[in-house]
Amino acid sequence: MAAISLAAVAALVALYGTALLALIAAGRRGDAVAVARFVPDCLVLLRGLARDARIRRGVKIAVVAVIAYLASPIDLVPDVLPIVGLLDDAILVAIVVRAVVRAAGRGVLAEHWRGPERSLLVLLRLCAVEA
């Protein structure tokens, strides 16, 4: 059962790596670096926002709750289901990240963002925040 989830994660990582290599092969090394750093930059952003006093407590609790849910072996949809099992986790993370980003606003996000400005604009667009 866990092997199916591990296989799905391995496939996603392989696809991600292939996309990065394709960007490098196309001469877009800067874009490849931005894509590779996007998830770590988002984690740094969330950590900074979690410590920011301007963010409402309810939003911070949602971040802790989604982290606990991801760490828990109990899922709404079991991870043994190849695509759908991981999709529920991804949807919950996306909802919480969007809530945090929208609660913070562009100014606070810019203060905590450590990645390239272009990546921040992508995040704002994905979360439907005015850029």
The total of structural domains in the chain comes to: 1
Range of the domain at 107: 37-126
- Section 49-72 average pLDDT: 83
Q: How far apart are CA 19 and CA 102, in angstroms?
A: 29
- pLDDT band at residue 1 using 50, 70 and 90 as cut-offs: very low
Question: Does residue 109 contact residue 120 with C-beta atoms inside 8 Å?
Answer: yes
Residue 11 located in a structural domain: no
In a domain, 119, yes or no: yes
Q: What is the pLDDT of residue 8?
A: 66
Q: What is the pLDDT of residues 114-131, one digit of tens each?
A: 888 888 888 888 888 776
> What pLDDT sits at residue 2?
47
Q: What is the pLDDT of residues 77-120, one digit of tens each?
A: 776 776 677 677 778 878 888 888 888 888 888 898 888 888 88
Residue 131 lies in a domain: no
Q: Is residue 16 part of a domain?
A: no
Model's pTM, two decimal places? 0.65
- 8 part of a folded domain: no
Amino acid sitting at position 56: R
